[in-house]
Structure 1
Amino acid sequence: MNSIFYIGCYTQMLSQDFGGKGDGIYTIEINNTSGKMRVLHMYSTTNPAYLVLSKNHQYLYALTEVSINENPKVKAFKIQEDYSLQLINEQTIDGDLPCHITYANNGLLIACYGSGNILLFPTKDNGEVLPSTQNFKHQGNSINLARQEAPHAHQAVVHPNGTDVFVPDLGIDLIKAYRFHNNALSAIKSNDIAVDKGGGPRHMVFNKNGDLGYLINELTGDISILKQKEGTFTFLKSVKSLPASYKEIPSGSAIRIHPNGKYLYAGNRTLDAITIFKIHGEDLELLSFQPTEGKTLRAFNIILNGKWLIACLQDSDEVIAYEITSSGKLLERSRNYNIISPVCVTSTINLQY
């Protein structure tokens, strides 16, 4: 039996040394036994650097990661019976370099790196995306003058309770807290989470119970462990995700928790390896490093209830399917070279027509 997922990529350069040359959004079929992947379809669109599926898996949403003077968009697509995409509509994003999109409460949360803000876009039952109804702009800076001169919102993640929303902001070393009420979002400043200065919060995940969170810091590669106490999260400790001998500049990229709650995976774009941890209560045990043997490990996702980890290598134009063993370690099963500048991978879809 095979499954379907989608990969987004960079189709143009954002700066002299950052971006890509891909084609758009790729529809990928994976053989659930062998891990072999093939491209079924491709939809041409500009810099679909992050994608998300609707809860019912009938719609896909993509953003265009471009500067604000290039009029970034959020686009809604209908997933056809052959798994190709049909554009429904699009809306303008009032932000610079939108970099992450989340589906929650029948709407979309979009984080903008360049302008340091998050926006809420409602959606309709037919998949259509409506104009933005809320726009929250972060304030401040931190100690890394080159990267933390201003806010840089990097993700919006919904807590397992379905109500609380957390936004890691690389520029201010803070995870900003929000809460849904009647489909509107409110800032809950008292629940903001401060982490180590200079870390550069990028992405975070929660365990199933929602009482522990794990944050990858882009600028140090460290993992911040967060614990919920009396309804709010506090910073417990930082754990290194890079080898002690590593001397290059860190560039943390992605973090995922296995569905069984036993293992945590972190990516680094300069090490180009996935760091594997075993979760022990409130601590992490380093198990191993899985080299990708490619260039610029970007996003990865765990699919099919923990069977596969799919990793995107932005600058070597590769997508790898790793089988996740019972010990949490990774075994490479296939590598696809036909997906250009991949940077985002969705979960698998389950369509019912």
Structure 2
Amino acid sequence: MVHTMLYKSLAAGAIAFGLPTFASATLIFATSMGTSTDPGFLSTIKYADGKLEVINKQLGICGNNPSWLEFVGDHIYCLDEAWSSITGSLYNFQVPRDGTNLTLINKLDTLGGPVSSVRYGQNLKGLAIAAYAGGGFQSFDISNPAAPKALQNSTFTISPKPGSDPQQKTSHPHEVVLDPTGNFIAAPDLGADLIRIFKVDKNTLSYVESKTVPTPDLSGPRHGAFVKLDSGTYFYVVTELSNEIIGWKVTYNSNGLDLDFGKELFIIPTHGPGSTGIGNTTRASELVISPDNKFLLVSSRFDEKTFDIPDPEDNAAGRIKSDSIINYAIEADGTLSLHQIFAAGGINPRQFSLSKDGSLVVSALQNSGHVALIKRNVQTGNLTEFIGAVHLGGQPTFAKLKEDTKCA
């Protein structure tokens, strides 16, 4: 059910800004892509006493086009898409307790344009990567965080469909997602209109591509997530080109060695059933499930009808335009109902993430050059107010709370 009063107040730009107080500081790590003249960088943001502060900014530490971050103890793995190279990179840093002055441990080559990673296997000792530009899937052994080792890699070829989008001339895996059993990894392939399913061996970390699940032509599946409910397991994907959310009920055979997506459970526009006003430039981006498995959130970039909100970095600085985060309730049967539409905090929310308890949303706004922090009510699921934002410059592409690293 849509919270109508809240939706109307947001549409009018009436968004509250609060400053809750916390006893200790939590760290947010964010990547920003560079330009033709300036290098990319990795930033550390301290969140304490309801305020955000950039406490570290290291230029070029993860190449010129850093994207996804993976936290492993006191290490951070950073992917560099390396647009000017046919290969990408996997950087490994050691992070001190205060989050400043990250130390480079090593760097490994990857397939071209790595955009997403996920840990898998026994004790999560494996790291799988989706390589967008390289049209591939790759695995690494990170059982020794200080000495990761490349394992397997696979690349895919496709036959472009007539009238296809320029992004669909080649295979473009855009994310890797571990299923609840840990036996499978799903990789939405934006170029091929497929969800690629990989069966993994938890002990050896080896994998095989077990099947592909088609999505509608010219849909461009980008990011997805599994959720396990009392009624079964479901998989959702957001499509970048058609701006839709697709859901499947996933079934496993008796010994768990295979899974089946079957027919789509539903296909709905990202902004809700029957929604209009999504322009030709609009591109859906991120999809995240809340920690309690009750809500699904997606971000929409370059909305035709953006929000007009007070600048979350400084209310006195005036107002800014903002794209959307669309919030759905997950029903008992796996279907979705529109719950809320909230401002993302700026333009081009390429990625956002939730805190472990679901009370905070961290939004990376690529075209606005900043990272915004949003308060979320874990009982109602509503995004409620902006805590604030920090300007990083460059093109922020990823931001996440590292909640096992805190400073006083």
Match of 2:59 in 1: 44
Question: What amino acid maps onto 2:373 in structure 1?
Answer: A
Partner residue, 2:10: none
Residue in 2 that maps onto 1:249? 281
2: CA distance, partners of 1:50 / 1:323? 23
Structure 1 position 138 matched with structure 2 position 151: no
Q: Mean Cα displacement is larger for which, 4-13 or 274-283? A: 4-13
Aligned to 2:297: 265
Query: Closer, same or farther in 2 for the Cα pair 1:211/1:41, shift >3 Å?
Result: same
Unaligned runs of 5+ in 2: 1-23, 253-258, 304-322
- Distance in 2 between the 1:262 and 1:309 partners? 15
Question: What is the match of residue 17 of structure 1?
Answer: none
2:357 aligned counterpart, secondary structure: helix
- Between the two structures, name the one with larger relative contact order (CA 8 Å, sep ≥ 6): 2
User: How far off is 1:171 after superposition?
Assistant: 0.7
C-alpha contact 1:52 1:346 (8 A) present in aligned 2 = no
Q: Residue type of the partner of 2:281? A: I
1:329 maps to what in 2? 382
Name the Cα RMSD after superposition.
Answer: 2.2
Partner of 1:308: 360
TM-score (norm. length: structure 1): 0.89
Instruction: Verify the 8 A CA contact 2:370 2:393 in the aligned structure 1.
Output: yes
The amino acid across from 1:317 in the alignment is G
SS state at 2:85 partner: helix
C-alpha distance in 2 between matches for 1:117 and 1:68: 18
C-alpha separation in 2, matches of 1:250 and 1:319: 20
Q: Which residue of 2 aligns with 1:348?
A: 402
Contact 2:345–2:363 under 8 Å retained in 1: no
Task: State the number of aligned residues.
Answer: 340
Q: Deviations over 1:244-289 (max 9, x none)?
A: 2223333111011111111111011112211111111221111222
- The answer as to whether partners of 2:291 and 2:356 remain within 8 angstroms in 1 is no
Q: Is the contact made by 1:62 and 1:101 (CA closer than 8 Å) also made in structure 2?
A: no
Cα distance change on mapping 1:212 and 1:264 into 2, 3 Å: same
Structure 2 CA distance, aligned partners of 1:277 and 1:44? 37
Q: 1:78 aligns with which of 94, 98, 116?
A: 94
SS at match of 1:348: strand
Report the AA paired with residue 229 of structure 1: T
Provide the rounded CA distance (Å) in 2 between the counterparts of 1:248 and 1:29. 37
Partners of 1:23 and 1:136 lie apart in 2 by 28
Give the 3 Å change call, closer, same or farther, for CA 337–69 of structure 1 in structure 2: closer
CA distance in 2, matches of 1:186, 1:304: 29
Q: Tell me the percent identity.
A: 22
Q: How far did 1:120 drift?
A: 0.8
Write the letter of the residue equivalent to 2:98.
Answer: D
Is the contact between residue 165 and residue 218 of structure 2 (CA under 8 Å) also seen in structure 1? no
2:248 to 197, 209, 226: 226
Q: Once the 2 structures are TM-superposed, how far is the Cα of residue 322 of structure 1 from its aligned partner?
A: 0.8
- Tell me, yes or no, if structure 1 residue 237 matches structure 2 residue 266: yes
* Alpha-carbon distance, 1:156 to partner: 1.1
Q: Distance in 2 between matches of 1:28 and 1:247?
A: 34
> Structure 1's 187 and 68: CA in aligned 2 closer, same or farther, altered over 3 A?
farther
The match for 2:141 among 117, 122, 131 is 122
Mapped to 2, the partners of 1:270 and 1:180 lie a distance apart of 37
- The answer to whether the aligner puts 1:275 opposite 2:322 as a matched pair is no
| Rg larger for | 2
2:343 to 291, 295, 312: 291
Is this contact kept in 2: 1:22–1:341, CA < 8 A?
no
